[in-house]
Amino acid sequence: MSITAPKGTKDILPEEIFRWHKAQQTFADVCHMFGYEEIRIPTFEDTNLFQRGVGDTTDVVQKEMYTFEDKGGRSITLRPEGTAGVVRSYIEHGMGNLSGPVRLFYDITAFRYEKQQKGRYREFHQLGLEAFGATGPEIDAEIISVLDVFFKKMGLKSIKLCINSIGCPTCRKAYNEMLKDYFRPHVDTMCEDCRNRFEKNPLRMIDCKIDGEKDVVKNAPRLIDHLCDDCKDHFEALKSRLDNLGIAYSIDPNIVRGLDYYTRTVFEFVSENVGTQGTICGGGRYDGLVESVGGPSTPGIGFAMGVERFLLEAEAQGIPFEKPDYTKIYLAGMSDNAKDVVAKLCYDLRLNGVGCEQDLMGRAFRAQMKYAGKKNVPYLVVIGDDEIASGVVNVKKMEDGSQTEVKISELVEYCKTNL
Ligand code: ATP
Ligand code: MG
């Protein structure tokens, strides 16, 4: 029996990897422009970190984690997301002593035991960032504008930004009581998740994937209408900052985010084309998280974007991705002697940053030409004994067949400046 990739995982093959490079590089460039620096965190962490940092009542912790005991008897979990690990690192390295805001971005794989669907995998990729230390709405607007600039630089034509506020522990406590009173007469008719959430985290009943479409959920009181004055001011200030930047948004009172540690601002970028897997990116403020993971009380905010979902959306919108031509020139050697010259020229070209190829399969001349053609190599040089004797070769541009005479001794320099 042949072995295939595990369910929920995917190979990213050379014919698509350049799309990934483009998204990852553009994201890194945009983050750098905003003053964010990259952090790399471990693929696995102590299971306790996610229990505390993601939250015991979330689907991620309750149903989706890859948890195992290692040979030393430790409970280890493959990271289901990046925020908890970044927060752990922030605390462990005393980054609270740096002058704020401490701005970090990441490019990671994440693991969740989920039912595989289009845009939903068990191993997937996230591009995300976290900013620590700033309480004001300016940073909320800043991280949203990082995404806005990223999407524009990638050439996305449309994507919908939805924002909401889920308040602070004070306003949420009063609201949760109100929600419980509202749901109490209905809770028996609701799904098992909702019945559990009714006790532990009634706010999450609002985004239930099973009961969410029922009128009883749709008509529930909305937290956005019951914010305390400080939270209301924060939300209003965020809206006016987005208006000032010209970033369009709509308010979606149903975004509560699956994760417990969020406070105040929550947001999603949603595809206007795709259905249930249409959330490309989610984020928000988590002023309680650093403390709940054992650090000093520190405000924070961040987001994570699913790279698979972003690329699906980019494809749906017909965004062109150009495959870079790393190989600029093919050098064909016509004799054993010429092949040695070709091998040395290729070595020198590569040392000088020019991508090139030579025959490694013992192919005859015609077969070498066919190979170079199939690979779409834009320039070609043929070197035989005559060329070695005269010290001159023809550099042929495949696009129009034009040829330029170049001395072999000057070929590297010529390619460096002209190809
Ligand atoms: P969903 O409601 O779609 O399950 P989520 O709320 O669990 O999303 P987050 O934890 O906010 O997602 O993760 C941020 C982003 O990571 C999502 O918006 C999505 O683009 C991506 N993502 C999450 N889970 C998966 C997965 N299993 N496969 C691929 N991408 C994912
Ligand atoms: Mg999920």
282 lines ligand 1 (CB under 6 A): yes
Instruction: Over range 153-180, report the average pLDDT.
Output: 92
Q: Which residues pair with 162 in a beta bridge?
A: 250, 268
Q: Is the pLDDT of residue 401 over 70?
A: yes
CA distance 220 to 214: 10
- Give me the mean pLDDT over the 361-389 stretch: 95
Alpha helices in 184-305 (DSSP H): 192-200, 215-218, 229-245, 289-292
Mean pLDDT of the 347-365 span: 96
Ligand 1 centroid to residue 119 C-alpha, Å: 9
The 3-state DSSP class for residue 419 equals: coil
Predicted local confidence at residue 339, as pLDDT? 94
DSSP string, 330-388: EEEE-SHHHHHHHHHHHHHHHHTT--EE---S---HHHHHHHHHHTT-SEEEEE-HHHH
Q: What is the best residue among 166, 309, 310, 311 to mutate for testing ligand 1's pocket, by most ligand atoms within 8 Å of CB?
A: 309
- Mean pLDDT on 229-253: 97
pLDDT of residue 260: 62
- Which ligand has the nearest atom to the CA of 83? 1
Q: Relative to the CA of 121, which ligand 1 atom is closest?
A: 28
Report how far apart, in Å, the C-alpha atoms of 131 and of each of 139, 210, 277, 280, 313 are: 8, 33, 26, 20, 26
SS3 content of the chain, % helix, strand, coil (to 5): 45, 20, 35
Q: Are 332 and 381 in contact (CB under 8 A)?
A: yes
pLDDT above 70 (res 219): yes
Give dist(CA 231, CA 217) in Å, integer. 24
**Which residue's C-alpha comes closest to atom 23 of ligand 1?**
306
What φ, ψ does residue 74 adopt, rounded to 5°?
-85, 145
Q: CA 398 → CA 6, 224, 339, 377, 385, distances in Å?
A: 43, 63, 21, 8, 23
Residue 91 has which token pair? 């605390």
Q: Whose CA is nearest to atom 26 of ligand 1?
A: 120
How does residue 27 score in pLDDT terms, banded at 50, 70 and 90?
very high
HSE-CB of 352 using CA atoms within 13 angstroms: 19
Ligand 1 atom with the shortest distance to the CA of 128: 14
Task: Please report the pLDDT score of residue 169 as a whole number.
Answer: 86
Nearest CA to ligand 1 atom 16: 306
Tokens of 234: 């924060």
pLDDT in tens, 309-324: 999 999 999 999 988 8
pTM of the model: 0.92
CA 306–ligand 1 middle distance (angstroms)? 6
Residue 368: what pLDDT? 95
Statement: residue 203 has pLDDT above 90? no
Q: Which residues contact 136 (CB under 8 A, 6 or more apart)?
A: 237
Which residue among 279, 307, 311, 312 has the greatest number of ligand 1 atoms within 8 angstroms of its CB, and so is best to mutate? 279
Span 352-366, average pLDDT: 96
Which position has the token pair 């009961």?
Answer: 211
Q: Quick one: tokens of 111?
A: 């693991």
